[in-house]
Amino acid sequence: MAGGLTYTAVESTALSTAEYYGRVLCELGAEHPEIVALTADLGKSTKIGMFGEAFPERFFNVGIAEQNMFSMAAGMAKAGCVPFVSTFSVFAALRAADQVHADICYQNANVKIIATHGGTSFGQAGSTHHAICDLAVERAFPNMTVIVPADGMETVNAVRAAYETPGPFYIRINRGFDRVVYDSTDYGFKIGKAVQLREGTDITVIVNGSCVFQACQASDFLNSADGLKVRVLNVHSLKPLDKEAIQKAVLDTRRIVVAEDHNVIGGLGSAVSEIIAEMGKGCAFTRLGLQDQFAPIGLHEDIMSILGIDSNGIAATVREVMGRDFEQDDDWSDEV
């Protein structure tokens, strides 16, 4: 990415993902006076408050009023500001869905939503605070770009890319610390392009967000334990989607597992299945995530384990899918 600091792994162990966001937003704010920041009493939790400390005259805490916040941001954007707006993912996507739909997406307003506490990362707060269908909602809004970064480094890249790319963005990051996937920001992040983190010819695991680290761990384990070559694709860009990389994975490996911290309806699993269906090429395919259910209360890592989207769960599913009786010939007429 052009401009700004290049972060390193030394810092990544010390900072939460949201703290990376706060830092990079402050850097952008110093460079670009038209950037404004809005939050709904979550300046501290989302770390957008770091911008507020640096640029108080450009920071608007609207109190606990998300609908107003997103409409205000739309008005600011139409007048020439570049608003960054942060609240919890569940409120950004659901509480203010009408405002994001009508005021931001319909008008193609240049508003950047950095939604924190994504998925089940605020697990202990219960289902009122779990964002399990936010990506389904945001993905369905025309004009919206949807990014689910894997860690702090990728969040830095995503936030910078959002500033540099006109139009509405929804970037979903987690509460607290993410396991480190990238040791620097310099790995060729590009909106709409998946990152292949592990090579593989037997099966592909397609992931984003907190599942990326887990999939890499599962791939390494399966390689050493079973001799399996498990490809891992980090599809950080849920929309636009890297159709080419997914099609290639289907053709190369013919077995696909998707894992995501989201309902299996409407998120990454759905997006990938749409591409597979449109290809007309069958493959063994499984979607991991919330199976159209609410998540239990608990620590994020425990919930991921319960849902089978941690490294153990992904490895077990890969083994199951590898064991499926699946024809790899080119005769599609006898497929069920």
Q: Which spans of this chain sit near other proteins (rule: CB under 8 A)?
A: 34, 36, 57-58, 60, 62-63, 65, 67-69, 71-81, 83, 98-99, 102-103, 106-108
Name the DSSP class of 58.
G
Shortest spacing between CB 93 and other proteins, in angstroms: 17
Do 74 and 82 contact (CB within 8 A), yes or no? no
- Of 65 and 306, CB closest to other proteins: 65
- Of 62 and 211, CB closest to other proteins: 62
Shortest spacing between CB 64 and other proteins, in angstroms: 9
CB within 8 Å of 300: residues ≥ 6 apart: 119, 120, 121, 122, 123, 174, 175, 176, 210
CA quadruple 213, 5, 171, 294: dihedral, nearest 10: 40
Shortest spacing between CB 52 and other proteins, in angstroms: 14
- Of 60 and 326, CB closest to other proteins: 60
- Of 69 and 235, CB closest to other proteins: 69
Shortest spacing between CB 124 and other proteins, in angstroms: 28
Starting from the edge strand earliest in sequence, which strands make up the sheet with 35-39, in order?
A: 59-61, 35-39, 82-86, 112-115, 169-172, 145-147, 237-239
Shortest spacing between CB 103 and other proteins, in angstroms: 6
Structure tokens at 139: 């993905």
CB within 8 Å of 124: residues ≥ 6 apart: 297, 298, 299
Distance CA 178, CA 153 (A): 10
**How many Cα neighbours within 13 Å face the side chain of 116?**
25
Do 93 and 138 contact (CB within 8 A), yes or no? yes
Q: What would you report as the CA-atom Rg of the chain, rounded to the nearest whole angstrom? A: 20
- Of 96 and 146, CB closest to other proteins: 96
- Of 60 and 221, CB closest to other proteins: 60
Distance CA 83, CA 45 (A): 18
Shortest spacing between CB 39 and other proteins, in angstroms: 13
Shortest spacing between CB 142 and other proteins, in angstroms: 12
- Of 65 and 180, CB closest to other proteins: 65
